[in-house]
Amino acid sequence: MPIFKYKGYAADGTEVRGSIEAPGMRDAISQVKARKVLPTDVVESARKRKKGIFRGRDETFLPNMTRQLSILISSGVPLMEALQSLSDEYQGYYREILIATKEQLSGGASFYKALQEYGHIFSGYYIHMIQAGEASGALDIVLVKLADFLEHQSVVRSKIRSSMIYPILMAGVSIIILSFLFAFVIPKLVRIFADTKSTLPFITIILISISNAFAKYWWAIIGILVVIVMSVRKYISKNRERVDRLILKLPGGIVQSLYYARFARSMEVLISGGLPVLAALKLSAAAIGNRALEANIFYAGEKVAEGQTIASSLKGFPSVFVQLVATGEKTGKLAETLKKAASSYEEEFIRKVDRSVSIFEPVMIIFMALIVCFIVLAVLLPIFQLNELVK
């Protein structure tokens, strides 16, 4: 339903502002009057909400808001007052979300139901954790666990991005420099060989051909690259599970460690939050980010429903991970064991990323050195030949 902003005056003459959810303008005005407020302005804000969906998401909002909300709730602040306080901390679309959620709570809706209206912000496991917290009366504890989980995920994402900045920067600068050389510098250098009747070295012919292609058909090269990128993306979207299975077979095990860490961390948070094992498996599968492992986890859920253990049902996971799960099930400390496994795989992932980045730098230097050597030889060899002819 659309959200309406209203301004008006209370019975004592004070100005009142707020937000309300209603099927239409007439219903919104009626609801405002039912609150004993004389409305002076009621405006639909649904359009602004729609814009918020398409503009860039602020990835700091959810972990920060969850942490602040957990502190307020654990301090004894009622949920509606906590949401009102949080709405004063934010601006724009996120403020509207908090206000609209508070309004739905005041209308009798449960917290998790109100969050379901914003599925693009609050994921399935987040909403189910809130539902479990409300049902068990431990919403403050659940919010703390959610905040810890989201902050862990944010740290891992930040590590990935910071680790990728240098390789991407080096690759981008290399592409720009090479494109400039082949399009503008090399054509001027090799022009002196164009009028000579002597046979040019094969390496020089290759260099001239590449330079001419860049100079005359740069638009075609860009077009081909765009088509290739679009084709690859289309193929991946249509064959996601097949591609994800290939990713699991990549050497080095970098992304595999990330997937195992996500699954273990999600399961730990959901189980410790009071969710049944089957529900935790389903939600963790959706959060893992790999369709192949997701299918394996759904299969494990079916086997668990039939009475088997989680460890005996898991496929596609390393034996160490499966053994940890089996130990957790036997000792009744599955959540604690999964937490240790998640921390271990997160640390392993970060180590592998750092190692890969440290290897990438010398590889790029060697690659650029080979390109420069190729250009130098292609230019100098015909000059040496001309000197021989002059002699």
Tens-place pLDDT, residues 55-80: 446 778 888 999 999 999 988 888 88
Residue 248 is predicted with a pLDDT of 85
Tokens of 241: 């599970």
What is the span of the domain harbouring residue 201? Answer: 153-391
Residue 368 CA: distances (Å) to CA of 15, 155, 169, 379, 389: 68, 33, 14, 17, 32
Residue 49 is predicted with a pLDDT of 42
3-state secondary structure of 89: coil
Tokens of 364: 């790029």
State the helix-helix crossing angle for 92-106 and 61-74, rounded to 10 degrees: 40
Q: In this model, does residue 230 exceed pLDDT 90?
A: yes
Higher local confidence (pLDDT), 44 or 228:
228
Residue 21 is predicted with a pLDDT of 63
CB atoms within 10 A of CB 54: 8
Half-sphere CA count of 201, side-chain side, radius 13 A: 17
Is the Cα dihedral 325, 326, 328, 334 positive or negative? positive
Residue 386 is predicted with a pLDDT of 67
What value does the mean pLDDT take over residues 148-166? Answer: 81
Residue 51 is predicted with a pLDDT of 41
pLDDT digits (tens, 9 = 90+) for 33-61: 887 777 777 776 644 444 443 444 677 88
From its phi and psi, is residue 13 left (phi > 0), alpha (psi between -120 and 50) or beta? Answer: left
pLDDT digits (tens, 9 = 90+) for 248-261: 888 877 888 888 98
Judge if 291 and 372 occupy the same domain.
yes
- Out of 42-51, 227-236, 376-385, the most confident range is 227-236
Boundary residue ending a domain (149, 174, 208): 149
Describe the strand order of the beta sheet including 15-21 as a list of residue ranges. 15-21, 3-9, 38-44
Beta bridge partners of 21: 3
Burial of 226 (0-12, 13-18, 19+ CB in 10 A): exposed
Number of structural domains the chain divides into: 3
Judge if 92 and 105 occupy the same domain.
yes
Judge if 181 and 105 occupy the same domain.
no
Least confident of 28-32, 247-251, 303-307: 28-32
CATH number of the domain within which 242 lies:
1.20.81.30
Judge if 186 and 299 occupy the same domain.
yes
Tokens of 240: 């996601």
pLDDT digits (tens, 9 = 90+) for 340-375: 998 899 888 888 888 887 888 788 888 888 888 888
Boundary residue ending a domain (106, 125, 149): 149
CB under 8 Å, gap of 24 or more: what pairs does 59-62 form? 59/154, 59/157, 60/154, 61/90, 61/94, 61/121, 62/121, 62/122, 62/126, 62/150
Dihedral through CA 380, CA 382, CA 386, CA 387, nearest 10? 30
In degrees, to the nearest 5, what angle opens at C-alpha 369 toward C-alphas 366 and 375? 145
Judge if 135 and 230 occupy the same domain.
no
Element (H, E) at 19: strand 15-21
Within 306-333, where are the H helices? 310-313, 319-331
Residue 381 is predicted with a pLDDT of 82
The answer to whether residue 50 sits within a structural domain is no
Beta bridge partners of 19: 5
Least confident of 1-5, 170-174, 239-243: 1-5
Tokens of 279: 């529900």
Residues 6 or more apart whose CB falls under 8 angstroms from that of 37 comprise 6, 8, 9, 10, 16
What value does the mean pLDDT take over residues 167-180? Answer: 83
The answer to whether residue 53 sits within a structural domain is no
- Give the separation between CA 324 and CA 270, rounded to whole angstroms: 17
Within 288-318, where are the H helices? 291-305, 310-313
Residue 45 is predicted with a pLDDT of 62
3-state secondary structure of 306: coil
The single-letter DSSP state of residue 236 is H
- Give the separation between CA 277 and CA 301, rounded to whole angstroms: 8
Boundary residue ending a domain (124, 149, 174): 149
Judge if 357 and 317 occupy the same domain.
yes
pLDDT averaged over every residue in the chain: 82
pLDDT digits (tens, 9 = 90+) for 94-153: 888 888 888 888 777 888 888 888 888 888 778 888 887 887 777 888 888 888 888 887
Tokens of 87: 């709405």
Judge if 330 and 381 occupy the same domain.
yes
The answer to whether residue 52 sits within a structural domain is no
Tokens of 319: 């034996």
The answer to whether residue 51 sits within a structural domain is no
Residue 238 CA: distances (Å) to CA of 244, 286, 295: 12, 18, 16
Residue 322 is predicted with a pLDDT of 92
Element (H, E) at 62: helix 61-74
Residue 321 is predicted with a pLDDT of 92
Judge if 143 and 265 occupy the same domain.
no
Q: In this model, does residue 226 exceed pLDDT 90?
A: yes
Least confident of 138-142, 195-199, 310-314, 373-377: 195-199
What value does the mean pLDDT take over residues 307-313? Answer: 90
